[in-house]
Chain A
């Protein structure tokens, strides 16, 4: 080691040790995260173990949850709804993101504005908009009934279908942005080279674009899943009386049944579900990239 190197690594009087330097900018956000996220989260997890007779550590609440078929149905419904929305968002967002990433058309700006426009209105407003369109006396059913194509209104709202449609619209901009960033990162010369070598358009998409955009696809799936799993307003408004998901069940437990430990159990399970999906997504991405030699 040269004298110059030893001097630079030795802590100087009045200076912080070199190893702490890079972490200093992280201190304020870390503190904020600890106070507004980690501590409340810890309190919530602690609350989920609190018994009805004041016990501080009991599994009674979890036992109650897992022995109640209605609550388990809510958990399953949350996973199904979020999974369906994640797939719908990603499938719809992909061609839009591809167009935005590759097109040089003047219409590109218009498409981009339309893709992002839903975010300019609040979730509740957008959901009420879908209610007006999808309900029994809504726009779609009215037109179909008037044209004689159907005799009874189609069940488009107050069920899973209505919620998936509404949430897909709510989450779609995030899927588009996530995929857009990923597709923009793919070198266009790869597509040109494949074209020159005689590859068809479909073959280019299947063998080049799709594999290289796997991180974006997984990111879109994860964002859509987590946003849907924690959504309250859309399932509450479009789902109807029988459509209970974890987010609406937490609301009921907090405000109606005043059973906060049970609400905490549901919130913890929601968190575990989302963390599990994030972990699975990250591993799937790594495995796919490894398989495709990216």
Chain B
């Protein structure tokens, strides 16, 4: 009896004197691989130290799988913060599955570029931007590439790898090819489909996963491909003889968002985490660590990063920004056209 009384007193004293010692758990769902190592070092550990919250990192599932889980559980997927994309943010917000991230709840949202904020909707806090770049092997194409049309050049016959339509990169490629060939991002996309169909006929084939597309460039089966610039930068830094560019006709961004499911158990901590990641210093740490762009135009980063990534208001203004909600509605129709007009042209 004496022992249990003593124990209770001790626990009570600890709770009164050191409230920070009773850490709260926050479950963050994101990606594995190099992403996990960088997020732990640059975001999670500083957040834990500042707020006394224990973060449980869940690297299971892609963004689409995570969104399916949120939808299937009615907004209670078992994690508090998730990294997805603007398309999923818009869908989830419309269905009431994601928490609105207003400036009142997440003050740093107000510091983001308004155009980018708008395309992600009220429930998505844009924490990272990549863009669809043109990647090529420097040893095979020393003169480099500058235009989306270069993919159709005779010297790249049988040397371009394309994504399947289940990789969102394919829809974006249609959009930029449309703009390049006289159409637009959403409505007049026939020129885009025609160009990509011709490209499919001259390509080495299609792959769904970006990680598999990489292997074609690594082993020389492909000399060029459309690819997210963040991953291209990581490939470059791994020593691969490649380079990438944002083509002169412009490009579309991959807008990555932080989201809080509407039924998240630790909503307060989740909102703090989202706000922390959008802090100027956190954005600088993330941009320099993961080699991506930011929707915060006020960040200070080294010139070599600034030259390659979306980091300024001018960079943001130059982006081609499709209406993602409208694009999402057109995906089934575009998917059907892709199967009929593009895949059938492949060799």
Chain A residues with a Cβ under 8 A of chain B: 68, 70, 137, 158, 236, 240-242, 244, 252, 254-260
Tell me, rounded to whole Å, the shortest Cβ–Cβ distance linking B168 to chain A: 8
Chain B residues with a Cβ under 8 A of chain A: 62, 64-65, 67-68, 71, 91, 164, 166, 205-206, 208, 221, 331-332, 335-336, 339-340, 343-344, 346
Tell me, rounded to whole Å, the shortest Cβ–Cβ distance linking B163 to chain A: 9
Chain B residues with Cβ below 8 Å from A68 are: 336
Interface pair B339/A242, CB less than 8 Å apart = yes
Tell me, rounded to whole Å, the shortest Cβ–Cβ distance linking A91 to chain B: 31
Interface pair B166/A242, CB less than 8 Å apart = no
Q: Kindly report which residue of chain B lies nearest to residue A255, judged by CB atoms.
A: B64
Interface pair B339/A257, CB less than 8 Å apart = no
Tell me, rounded to whole Å, the shortest Cβ–Cβ distance linking B215 to chain A: 11
- Complex alpha-carbon distance, A179 and B338, angstroms: 44
Interface pair A70/B339, CB less than 8 Å apart = yes
Interface pair B64/A256, CB less than 8 Å apart = yes
Q: Kindly report which residue of chain A lies nearest to residue B95, judged by CB atoms.
A: A258
- Complex alpha-carbon distance, A160 and B91, angstroms: 36
Interface pair A70/B340, CB less than 8 Å apart = yes
For this complex, 28 residue pairs linking A to B, each with C-beta atoms less than 8 Å apart, are A68-B336, A70-B336, A70-B340, A137-B221, A241-B205, A241-B206, A241-B208, A241-B343, A241-B346, A242-B339, A242-B346, A244-B339, A252-B166, A252-B335, A254-B68, A255-B62, A255-B64, A255-B67, A255-B68, A256-B64, A256-B166, A256-B331, A256-B335, A257-B331, A257-B332, A258-B68, A258-B71, A260-B71
- Complex alpha-carbon distance, A158 and B206, angstroms: 10
Interface pair B343/A242, CB less than 8 Å apart = yes
Chain B residues with Cβ below 8 Å from A260 are: 71
Interface pair A241/B164, CB less than 8 Å apart = yes
Tell me, rounded to whole Å, the shortest Cβ–Cβ distance linking A251 to chain B: 8
Most B-side CB within 10 Å, residue of A241, A244, A260: A241
Q: Interface SS of chain A: helix, strand, loop or mixed?
A: loop
Chain B residues with Cβ below 8 Å from A254 are: 68
Q: Kindly report which residue of chain B lies nearest to residue A155, judged by CB atoms.
A: B347
Q: Kindly report which residue of chain B lies nearest to residue A256, judged by CB atoms.
A: B166
Q: Kindly report which residue of chain B lies nearest to residue A258, judged by CB atoms.
A: B91
- Complex alpha-carbon distance, A255 and B331, angstroms: 12
Tell me, rounded to whole Å, the shortest Cβ–Cβ distance linking A38 to chain B: 19
Tell me, rounded to whole Å, the shortest Cβ–Cβ distance linking B319 to chain A: 24
Tell me, rounded to whole Å, the shortest Cβ–Cβ distance linking B331 to chain A: 6
Q: A241-B164, A242-B343 are in contact. Are A255 and B65 (CB under 8 A)?
A: yes
Q: Kindly report which residue of chain B lies nearest to residue A69, judged by CB atoms.
A: B340
- Complex alpha-carbon distance, A197 and B154, angstroms: 74
Closest 6 CB pairs of A and B: A241-B206, A255-B64, A242-B343, A241-B164, A256-B166, A241-B343
Q: Which of A240, A258, A259 contacts B205 (CB 8 A)?
A: A240
- Complex alpha-carbon distance, A259 and B336, angstroms: 14
Chain B residues with Cβ below 8 Å from A252 are: 166, 335
- Complex alpha-carbon distance, A258 and B206, angstroms: 22
Q: Kindly report which residue of chain B lies nearest to residue A64, judged by CB atoms.
A: B332
Q: Which of B62, B65, B331, B344 contacts A242 (CB 8 A)?
A: B344
Chain A residues with Cβ below 8 Å from B67 are: 255, 258
Q: Kindly report which residue of chain A lies nearest to residue B92, judged by CB atoms.
A: A258
Tell me, rounded to whole Å, the shortest Cβ–Cβ distance linking B142 to chain A: 25
Tell me, rounded to whole Å, the shortest Cβ–Cβ distance linking A36 to chain B: 15
Supplied contacts A70-B336, A70-B340, 17 more A-B pairs, CB within 8 Å = A68-B336, A137-B221, A158-B205, A241-B343, A241-B346, A242-B339, A242-B344, A242-B346, A244-B339, A252-B166, A255-B64, A256-B64, A256-B166, A256-B335, A257-B331, A258-B71, A259-B332
Interface pair A257/B335, CB less than 8 Å apart = yes
Tell me, rounded to whole Å, the shortest Cβ–Cβ distance linking B62 to chain A: 8
Most B-side CB within 10 Å, residue of A70, A240, A244, A256: A256
Q: Kindly report which residue of chain A lies nearest to residue B88, judged by CB atoms.
A: A258
Tell me, rounded to whole Å, the shortest Cβ–Cβ distance linking B45 to chain A: 32
Q: Kindly report which residue of chain A lies nearest to residue B221, judged by CB atoms.
A: A137
Interface pair B206/A240, CB less than 8 Å apart = yes
Chain A residues with Cβ below 8 Å from B339 are: 70, 242, 244
- Complex alpha-carbon distance, A70 and B334, angstroms: 13
Chain B residues with Cβ below 8 Å from A241 are: 164, 205-206, 208, 343, 346
Q: Kindly report which residue of chain B lies nearest to residue A254, judged by CB atoms.
A: B68
- Complex alpha-carbon distance, A258 and B166, angstroms: 12
Q: Kindly report which residue of chain A lies nearest to residue B64, judged by CB atoms.
A: A255
Q: Kindly report which residue of chain B lies nearest to residue A70, judged by CB atoms.
A: B339
Chain A residues with Cβ below 8 Å from B91 are: 258
Chain B residues with Cβ below 8 Å from A258 are: 67-68, 71, 91
- Complex alpha-carbon distance, A254 and B332, angstroms: 12
Chain A residues with Cβ below 8 Å from B332 are: 257, 259
- Complex alpha-carbon distance, A241 and B338, angstroms: 10
Chain A residues with Cβ below 8 Å from B335 are: 252, 256-257
Chain B residues with Cβ below 8 Å from A240 are: 205-206
Q: Kindly report which residue of chain A lies nearest to residue B342, judged by CB atoms.
A: A241
- Complex alpha-carbon distance, A257 and B62, angstroms: 15
Q: Kindly report which residue of chain A lies nearest to residue B166, judged by CB atoms.
A: A256
Q: Kindly report which residue of chain B lies nearest to residue A158, judged by CB atoms.
A: B205
Q: Kindly report which residue of chain A lies nearest to residue B212, judged by CB atoms.
A: A237
Tell me, rounded to whole Å, the shortest Cβ–Cβ distance linking B297 to chain A: 32
- Complex alpha-carbon distance, A256 and B346, angstroms: 22
Chain A residues with Cβ below 8 Å from B64 are: 255-256
Chain A residues with Cβ below 8 Å from B340 are: 70
- Complex alpha-carbon distance, A85 and B71, angstroms: 35
